[in-house]
Structure 1
Amino acid sequence: MSALVILLVVLGALVAVALAAGKTSKRRELARRQAELEPVKKLAQEDVTALGVELQELDLDMAGRELNPGANADYQRALDAYESSKLAADALSSPDEIRHVTEILEDGRYAMACVRARVEGRPLPTRRPPCFFDPRHGLSVTDVPWTPQGGIPRDVPACALDAERVRAGAEPDIRKVMVGSRRVPYWQGGRAYQPYAMGYFGAFGPLDWMFMGMLFSGGFEGIGEGIGAMGEGLGDMFGGIGDGIGNMFDGFDGFDF
């Protein structure tokens, strides 16, 4: 066999091995994305369920009361937000899409607060961001100074109960998520949870830098895991190419070059 033929065989084998390694890498990436999506989707569905429970409580509170046109419109807006968020949560295909879900939930909770205000004859509530510690707590009522673990003091929006806890030196009721085998605050969950927070807080402009900083302060672990997985995939790919070359040349032991 001529050297040219052998070279062509080698090149063909290299291409075949590279294609196989590429498919393996794509499968790994799809598996990684699915693993990243599942906890975020579960989080979205839990938040939607929480809004549904709050709507049931509102329905009981409003039973027997006459709603004026404004209260009726806000009530319908809250109901529509629940249905829309439920559909959006079920249709999630990437963690980035959860931002749309939490934007709807934030609007639904504000609509509910407007219903209560109208029925009780109070002015409509100022549209503040949700409680930072757990957005399911609804509209914040004030900002409180708080220092995250390993961070610097900053003012964060809080609901009445969490504001009271912080002022008393107690732990606020924090929304936690699973990262591996650990439960951590959602802002330390890594980049997959960044859109979750931005949906709740992104509309409040000046707060963006704070929440981005919070999220990224706990997100390096997730980034490191992603880099590690990428390195592992590259190692497998080049390892497979090397094995393929070695096996191929083993077959040419009898030829004299």
Structure 2
Amino acid sequence: MTGRRARKALWKEIRRIAEADLALVAEEIRDLEAEAEGDAYYRAVGLHARAESQLATAGTLTELRDVARLAAEARHQIACARAGEELTPRPLCLFDPAHGPSAREVVFARTGGALESVPACSACAEEVDAGRAPLSRKVMVSGRPQPYYRSPAHVGYYGSGDETLSDLLVFDLSTAALADLGLGLFDLAGWPDLGV
């Protein structure tokens, strides 16, 4: 696949991920609708509407990341509505952003390299504390199920903003190379592969 075709395919995949993410937020809002009280619910609805509008016109990776930011803010407002009070904004759970805002930081080696502090929801944090790998959102990368944070398209959507589509294609090649070597996240971190 040529570089141009690969970038176009990656762009389409990132947009698909954004659409799926917003569909999950919409579902969370619908689930909360019957018990909707207070401003947080209505802020979540407004943020979701802004994210949908932004997605419709997004033409750059930065604009798609704005969609991810708005979806995260909507999830925070959903958490506030459920709690019935304002909560301190927290990053989303690394293991699956659909888990919502994190409860705390845990030490984990997400890229197979050095251990780092990452945000985790309560359930995922308990798994890490017990020495188990939390069940994370899985996607296919080079024909193998991998945690979503190893997918260039997901890194593109949830990423830090430093990457370009070309950078993400290089990331895809390096991830595929690790998988072809039979190496996983825990192999490089020196932890046992738990088969999760």
Q: Secondary structure at the match of 1:144?
A: strand
1:197 maps to amino acid? Y
Q: Pick the structure with greater CA Rg.
A: 1
> Which residue number in structure 2 is paired with residue 15 of structure 1?
none
Which residue of 47, 54, 70 corresponds with 1:81? 47
The CA deviation string for residues 78-120 of structure 1, in whole angstroms up to 9 with x for no partner, is: 10122222233344444443201101001111112222333xx
Rate the CA distance shift 1:34–1:219 in 2: closer, same or farther, 3 A. closer
Q: Using the alignment, how far apart are the partners of 1:110 and 1:140 within structure 2?
A: 10
Checking the alignment, whether the CA contact within 8 Å between 2:6 and 2:169 is kept in structure 1 is no
> Which residue number in structure 2 is paired with residue 111 of structure 1?
77
How far 1:43 moved relative to its partner? 0.9
> Which residue number in structure 2 is paired with residue 55 of structure 1?
29
The CA deviation string for residues 144-179 of structure 1, in whole angstroms up to 9 with x for no partner, is: 122336312222110011112222223213223333
> Which residue number in structure 2 is paired with residue 45 of structure 1?
19
1:142 aligns with 2:104: yes
> Which residue number in structure 2 is paired with residue 172 of structure 1?
134
Which residue of 77, 98, 101 corresponds with 2:67? 101
> Which residue number in structure 2 is paired with residue 154 of structure 1?
116
How far 1:38 moved relative to its partner? 1.6
2:172 maps to amino acid? G
Query: How much is the aligned-residue C-alpha RMSD, in angstroms?
Result: 3.0
TM-score by length of 1: 0.57
> Which residue number in structure 2 is paired with residue 163 of structure 1?
125
Rate the CA distance shift 1:141–1:94 in 2: closer, same or farther, 3 A. same
Q: Which has the higher helix share?
A: 1
1:117 maps to amino acid? A
Q: Secondary structure at the match of 2:112?
A: coil
TM-score by length of 2: 0.73
Q: Secondary structure at the match of 2:119?
A: strand
Q: Using the alignment, how far apart are the partners of 1:125 and 1:169 within structure 2?
A: 29
Checking the alignment, whether the CA contact within 8 Å between 1:165 and 1:171 is kept in structure 2 is yes
Structure 2 unmatched ranges of 5 or more: 176-196
Q: Using the alignment, how far apart are the partners of 2:174 and 2:119 within structure 1?
A: 30
1:47 maps to amino acid? D
Q: Using the alignment, how far apart are the partners of 1:224 and 1:174 within structure 2?
A: 21
1:183 aligns with 2:145: yes
Q: What is the percentage of aligned positions where both structures have the same residue?
A: 30
Structure 1 unmatched ranges of 5 or more: 1-27, 203-207, 226-257
Checking the alignment, whether the CA contact within 8 Å between 1:144 and 1:156 is kept in structure 2 is yes
- How many residues matched? 172
Q: Secondary structure at the match of 1:40?
A: helix
The CA deviation string for residues 229-252 of structure 1, in whole angstroms up to 9 with x for no partner, is: xxxxxxxxxxxxxxxxxxxxxxxx
